[in-house]
A and B are shown apart, each in its own frame.
Chain A
């Protein structure tokens, strides 16, 4: 293996222009066995030229994935786009009528649609902020020689592997008017605080956010924890010598160094908020009175309960556009912050 490796290196080198081979020699002193980057780049370029003979086209390799994705996702997108211009009850035998952009006109004037959008935005801001604050603090604590660190980690991470669909009924029981939370409040003499949590607009939304935060903090925590392991201890040491206290170090040094992670989490949060369905649906069915309506739940209701497939498809198209734009914007934001 080694000898053929070297043979390739030697063979490659002879084809290189002077500049590249000079850098090869420079870095060859450092580590003879590792191929220096300029050489590797050069060689990759050559493989591209001759690769056809050496390996054949890569198209058959990516074909299964493409067929699956195009067959399911792109087919569905196209179909949704077509359906969004129909007035149709969804049954194959029932007549459909082409209505053009009518569904979209209706959507723009639909108050529930705009409320669902507004909920999504609020939901993102609140869950992202709270989750980030908790998981960042917790990750910093877990990096500070604490006892039982593994136990804490498991506790905060376990909700991540549980299905929202399984846990939502549990939270329903907890926050029910006759549920365990109100029971605890009564026994503590705080009965005046007890209320039908899921039946009031504001508290129902708060519960939906709470469950989401409960579920996803573990993931943010793992990411921040990993990011903090990458921080050079000498930087922290230097800050300490300059007289920075624990909180100052945390805020002025560690937080900025975790910026990449925060942005990655924001991307996830935007897309995740747009995808929200399980928790609001199972906890409050999008109610009371649309107070926990999200785009996903609204699409489902419009389609399954009201049998307005065309209108549901129009909302789906809006959701798709938002998701793609949101994904691209946060990606661009990420790239920009990497540049600076």
Chain B
């Protein structure tokens, strides 16, 4: 965008970019440095010695995995229905999803808490999985619907004429064409369910059922003012997401930016 003619302006721009970027790096550096303060890697050993880390990770993987499966299935089916099939009152249903899009998590707290206690689902992962999936679905459907609309109807009709029923048309013709948006749906759900905090905090009280975002709090409770332990726990829980992002950079960026453009 900028036209660079002289070496001086080239260097100036490079310096400016560095100056903007450094503040974004500093908290991460402070986190790693702080986690090694005092006893070095022993801080990490201490975190693992508590024995809760694998449990928290396992629970987070279950929550994210289940949410992804539910959101993916609901989204793909609904996007196909909304984009390509005839539905009575389609507009009404679609507006219902659009309005659900703006609903903040906090609105669901009281009723979900009461309902979960009534049905004895308090402290069960499903009490977190279902609301998380429900909060994600309106948005992913909206996203995927416009993508599905771009699939040529002629292709589907060709399949119909060749004798495939609507399920086979969906499975063999439409679904393979929608991989890019499926990637975005999976990444978005992964980030939002892995990073979710409010619902797990409310619903999961039993340490055997808690997820990684609650790990720093666990250390806050266990070792009061033990900053190194909290920071080491933060590093441990950040690493999987950072690695996933570095490996799937483009999918992440596309998924999140597709996510932002409603």
Q: Which A positions have Cβ atoms within 8 angstroms of B?
A: 1, 4-5, 7-9, 35, 40, 43-44, 47-48, 51-52, 54-62, 64-66, 68-77, 79-80, 83, 90, 92, 134, 137-147, 152, 154-171, 173-174, 176, 180, 214, 217-219, 222-223, 226, 228, 236, 240, 246, 249-250, 254, 264-265, 267-268, 271, 274-275, 277-278, 282, 295-296, 299-300, 303-304, 309, 312-313, 316-317, 319-320, 323-324, 326-327
The smallest C-beta distance from A236 to any residue of chain B, in angstroms, reads 7
Q: For residue A71, which residue of chain B has the nearest CB?
A: B134
Q: Is the CB of A167 within 8 A of B106?
A: no
The smallest C-beta distance from A44 to any residue of chain B, in angstroms, reads 7
CB pairs A–B below 8 angstroms (28 shown): A8-B161, A9-B154, A54-B157, A59-B88, A61-B80, A64-B73, A66-B97, A72-B135, A73-B134, A79-B111, A90-B113, A138-B20, A141-B1, A143-B2, A155-B25, A162-B195, A163-B196, A163-B238, A166-B195, A166-B213, A166-B215, A214-B27, A223-B261, A240-B3, A296-B106, A316-B109, A319-B107, A320-B103
* Residues on the B chain within 8 Å of A76, using CB: 107-108, 111-112
Q: Is the CB of B102 within 8 A of A271?
A: yes
Interface stretch of the complex, out of B41-49, B177-185, B229-237: B229-237
Interface residue total, chain B, C-beta cutoff 8 A: 107
B115 at the interface (CB under 8 A from A): yes
- Interface-central residue, B17, B31, B74, B77, by most chain A CB under 10 Å: B17
Tell me, in angstroms, the Cα distance from A314 to B170 when the chains sit together: 44
Q: Is the CB of A144 within 8 A of B13?
A: yes
Q: For residue A72, which residue of chain B has the nearest CB?
A: B134
* Residues on the A chain within 8 Å of B137, using CB: 65, 68-69
The smallest C-beta distance from B33 to any residue of chain A, in angstroms, reads 8
Please pick, from B130, B202, B227, the residue contacting A68 in the complex, using a CB distance under 8 A. Answer: B130
Q: Which B positions have Cβ atoms within 8 angstroms of A?
A: 1-4, 13-14, 16-18, 20-21, 23-25, 27-28, 30-31, 34, 70, 73-75, 77-78, 80-82, 84-88, 90, 93, 96-97, 99-115, 117-118, 130-131, 133-135, 137-138, 141, 153-155, 157-158, 160-162, 166, 169, 191, 194-198, 202, 212-217, 220, 227, 230-231, 234, 237-238, 241-242, 244-246, 249, 252-253, 256-257, 260-262
The smallest C-beta distance from B223 to any residue of chain A, in angstroms, reads 13
Tell me, in angstroms, the Cα distance from A139 to B216 when the chains sit together: 34
* Residues on the B chain within 8 Å of A79, using CB: 110-111, 114-115
Known contacts A173-B230, A275-B106: A309-B4 contact under CB 8 Å: no
Q: Is the CB of A144 within 8 A of B197?
A: no
Q: Is the CB of B21 within 8 A of A162?
A: no
The smallest C-beta distance from A68 to any residue of chain B, in angstroms, reads 5
* Residues on the A chain within 8 Å of B242, using CB: 158, 161-162
Q: Is the CB of A80 within 8 A of B87?
A: no
The smallest C-beta distance from A58 to any residue of chain B, in angstroms, reads 3
Known contacts A62-B78, A69-B134: A77-B103 contact under CB 8 Å: yes
Tell me, in angstroms, the Cα distance from A317 to B257 when the chains sit together: 30
Q: For residue A64, which residue of chain B has the nearest CB?
A: B74
The smallest C-beta distance from A241 to any residue of chain B, in angstroms, reads 11
Q: Is the CB of A155 within 8 A of B85?
A: no
The smallest C-beta distance from A73 to any residue of chain B, in angstroms, reads 5
* Residues on the B chain within 8 Å of A156, using CB: 20-21, 24
The smallest C-beta distance from B120 to any residue of chain A, in angstroms, reads 11
Q: Is the CB of A77 within 8 A of B107?
A: yes
**What's the A-B contact tally at a CB cutoff of 8 Å?**
332
Known contacts A68-B133, A158-B242, A170-B27: A320-B104 contact under CB 8 Å: yes
Across chains A and B, which 6 residue pairs bring their CB atoms closest together, nearest first?
A58-B85, A61-B81, A72-B134, A163-B195, A79-B111, A165-B197
Q: Is the CB of B234 within 8 A of A167?
A: yes
Q: Is the CB of B102 within 8 A of A312?
A: no
Known contacts A54-B160, A324-B99: A73-B104 contact under CB 8 Å: no
Q: For residue A237, which residue of chain B has the nearest CB?
A: B3
Q: Is the CB of B131 within 8 A of A62?
A: no
The smallest C-beta distance from A201 to any residue of chain B, in angstroms, reads 23
* Residues on the A chain within 8 Å of B131, using CB: 72
Q: Main secondary structure on chain A at its contact with chain B?
A: helix
Q: Is the CB of B257 within 8 A of A61?
A: no
The smallest C-beta distance from A144 to any residue of chain B, in angstroms, reads 4
Tell me, in angstroms, the Cα distance from A51 to B133 when the chains sit together: 31
The smallest C-beta distance from B193 to any residue of chain A, in angstroms, reads 11
The smallest C-beta distance from A71 to any residue of chain B, in angstroms, reads 7
Q: Is the CB of B106 within 8 A of A146?
A: no
Q: Is the CB of A141 within 8 A of B16?
A: yes
Please pick, from A157, A166, A265, A268, the residue contacting B234 in the complex, using a CB distance under 8 A. Answer: A166
Q: For residue A44, which residue of chain B has the nearest CB?
A: B153
Q: For residue B130, which residue of chain A has the nearest CB?
A: A72
- Interface-central residue, A58, A77, A319, by most chain B CB under 10 Å: A58
* Residues on the B chain within 8 Å of A254, using CB: 1
* Residues on the A chain within 8 Å of B196, using CB: 163
The smallest C-beta distance from A8 to any residue of chain B, in angstroms, reads 6
Q: Is the CB of B135 within 8 A of A154?
A: no
